[in-house]
Amino acid sequence: MSADLALYALGLGDDALIAAQRLGELYASSPEMEEDVALANIALDQLGAARLLLGYAAELTGAGDEDTLAFLRGPAEFRNHVLVELPNGDFAVTVAKLLFLAAWQRPLYARLAASGDERLAGIAATAGLETAYHLDHATQWTVRLGDGTPESHRRMQDAIDRLWPYTRELFVADPVARRLPGIAADPDRAEWTGTVEAALAEATLRVPGEAGVPAGLDGRAGRHTEHLTELLDEMQRLHRAHPGARW
C-alpha cells in the first residue's frame, strides 16, 4: 500500500511542480508588474505543495528525497497531467490553464483533507487553502478577458477551446487511486464543471463541446508531450551540471 500511496502523492506533487515551473517561467515577463507578483505567489504556493508531496513520496519509498524526484527523473517517469506541462503561450492560455487546474485542485484537496492518511490530509489541508486564491485569480482574469474587448474575448475563447481536450484527463479513473480507498479521493467532475461553466458564463464565453484526451497521451502513466522534455531540460539543467548542488 505504501508503494501505491507514494505513487499517488507523486502524481499530485508532479502536477504542482510542473505547474510551478511553468508559472515561474513568466517571472518578470507577465503583462504587468502586479501580475508578475501574483503569478509568482501562485507558483510559490504550488512549489510548496510539490515539496511536501514529493518529500512524502520519497519517504514512503525510502529512496532519495524531494530533490531526487524533481531533478533525477526523465519525462517518462513524471506523473503530472499533460495540461500543466503545456507551454504558456498567450496570457489567456496561462489564465485558462490556471482556471482548469485550480477548479480541479481546490475540491480535490478539500476531500483529501479528510483522507485516512494523516500526512496526506495535513498536506491537502494546507495546500487547499491556497488554491482558493488561485481559482479566484484565474476567474477574475477569465471574466475580464472574456467580457473585455473583441480581441481579448477572441483570445480567451481560443485558449479555452485549445485546452479543453486536455481537461478530460483530469477525470480519467486513476488505477492507483482505486487501490487506495479511504485515502485517495476521486475528483468531483460535477463540481469542476459547475465552477468552470459559471466562470465562462460570467465571461460571456462558450463552453466547448465534449472532447477526448489527445491520442497517445496519458500523463499519470508517463506518456507526455515533447513540451515536458523541454521543460525538464530547463528545470534540471543546474542539477545536471552540478550534481547535488545546494543553494
* Contact footprint for another protein (CB under 8 A): 31-34, 37-38, 41, 136-137, 140, 144
Cell of 5: 500511496
φ, ψ of residue 30 in degrees (nearest 5): -70, 165
Least CB distance to another protein at residue 139 (A) = 11
139 near 99, Cβ under 8 Å?
A: yes
Judged by beta carbon, residue 86 or residue 102, the one nearer another protein is: 102
Judged by beta carbon, residue 68 or residue 140, the one nearer another protein is: 140
The alpha carbon of 152 is separated from its chain's Cα centroid by a whole number of angstroms, namely 24
Using CA atoms, how far apart are residues 222 and 75, in angstroms rounded to an integer? Answer: 7
Output Rg (C-alpha) for the chain, integer angstroms.
17
Least CB distance to another protein at residue 42 (A) = 10
Judged by beta carbon, residue 137 or residue 224, the one nearer another protein is: 137
Cell of 50: 510539490
Least CB distance to another protein at residue 43 (A) = 12
Least CB distance to another protein at residue 37 (A) = 5
Least CB distance to another protein at residue 98 (A) = 14
Least CB distance to another protein at residue 242 (A) = 32
Judged by beta carbon, residue 6 or residue 96, the one nearer another protein is: 96
Least CB distance to another protein at residue 141 (A) = 9
Judged by beta carbon, residue 136 or residue 186, the one nearer another protein is: 136
Cell of 37: 507578483
108 near 40, Cβ under 8 Å?
A: no
CA 122-23-163 angle, 5° bins: 95
Using CA atoms, how far apart are residues 217 and 17, in angstroms rounded to an integer? Answer: 19
Judged by beta carbon, residue 43 or residue 108, the one nearer another protein is: 43
Judged by beta carbon, residue 94 or residue 167, the one nearer another protein is: 94
